[in-house]
A and B are shown apart, each in its own frame.
Chain A
């Protein structure tokens, strides 16, 4: 569904991405984890068509991304900047649907349905600045959902909320992505989160970023904030990803020892 092949990007002489290749199958949730400043956001922007990479190819459903694809939605970390403060939650969610050629009534219905899915049916007429951070990020997620993208990109979506809210949002994303069968690329620096949320975890190296490892998670469909994190498989994989992010080599022998 998503094929990123040998993606290279440089800002001037500073190389950020150094031949990154990632694939995601239909309906798969792939987490990309890497050290801070390793070029994760550049990767996401290239996939979204917001910047033109220096080299390499991005295919979505077999079609090259040469401008901004119309079957894709992005959820950014900074909800307070990415939601429009002059619009209510419902209008924020409905705005992108203009691109879908829906009339006012249909846009409104779709927005209400999406807000309902993220548990904000009662807050539709609130303004973003009247909401908590977690609620605002839910609105961003609803906005992406309402757009019905075949590919959902999330850039550190839980990076600006408190721990409790983060767990709620992780479960929300797992639920809605599974429900819609959306292919999702979630970028994070949080090792624990990448293992908890992902079907697969792609670890990037320090800048310039290359793929250090591409690990299947294999924890099954249903996950639980407490129980899943106690599983041996979860603990081992988290340790493995942690070592890789810190710059260690892939130590599959560590996995075999258990």
Chain B
């Protein structure tokens, strides 16, 4: 069954690529604006040995990793504090609900004014944008922890901090992990967007800008393709980690995997 699913996915992607190629070949779309699929794929393959692109990719990856790490370090404790202290949560909630819907990309111009270092700038916008899903998931997960699970530990004389760390945090962990996974995807978008808007010396966004100004649509889209693939791969990796760590959660919720 799993095989059939993978096969269908592969068939879907292959079908799309073939269709795009055919449309390009018929001349329906001017390939100066949108290169044929085969050219994009060739461009993407060329990038793998392009030292300049690889340096840019490494720079973006570093900003992404650092940003995500810092996001987790900030957002998880913040979510725990807000989830564990309802009065504080009620006080902060309106602010969160106001800031969260603002498209995160819209704060990049502000960040450009504040940060002179490009790495700092990218990390800062990642932390701002990617914190929301983690904070929100952590708050909800903590509020949803089974009261009986907490009461059980309390009945053995454990204090509120012990109950938070030994019951609430492990119970909430699967939901926090999902928040981190969503945040990882958001972070990719923010890193590339910040590079496109703020410029700088290194980064996939910088490479895309330069390829576009050099009229190399194939390389530009090839670079975008790699950024997308990276998002897919990091998501897949995090799903695998979640399944491994939280097997107990899947079994309990009866998630068919």
Contacts and interface: CB of A to CB of B under 8 A. Distances in A.
A82 B251 CA distance: 16
B120 interface: no
Interface string A28-57: 000000000000000000001110000000
A99 B152 CA distance: 13
- Secondary structure class of chain A's binding surface, majority of residues: loop
B156 interface: yes
Q: How many A residues touch the partner, as a band?
A: 20 to 34
A74 B157 contact: no
B216 interface: no
A129 B151 contact: no
Nearest to A92: B152
Contacts of A208: none
Interface in A58-87: 68-70, 72-74, 76, 78, 81-82, 84-86
Given A84-B170, A85-B248, A129-B248, A50 B151 contact: yes
B257 interface: no
A127 interface: yes
A97 to B, nearest CB: 9
Interface in A85-112: 85-86, 95-96, 99
A170 to B, nearest CB: 22
A68 B154 contact: yes
B249 A85 contact: yes
Contact of A86 (B154, B157, B248): B248
Contacts of A72: 155
A91 to B, nearest CB: 11
A76 B146 CA distance: 13
Contacts, number: 51
B252 interface: yes
Contacts of A158: none
A84 B158 CA distance: 15
B13 interface: no
Contacts of B156: 73, 95-96, 99, 147
B248 A81 contact: no
Contact of A99 (B149, B158, B251): B158
Contacts of A74: 152, 155
Contact of A85 (B155, B158, B166, B252): B252
B17 interface: no
A131 B157 CA distance: 27
B20 interface: no
Nearest to A70: B157
Contacts of A78: 148
Contacts of B149: 81-82, 84
10 contacts: A50-B155, A69-B157, A76-B151, A81-B146, A82-B152, A85-B249, A85-B251, A86-B170, A95-B156, A96-B153
Given A82-B149, A86-B173, A96-B153, 5 more contacts: A69-B157, A74-B155, A81-B146, A82-B152, A86-B246
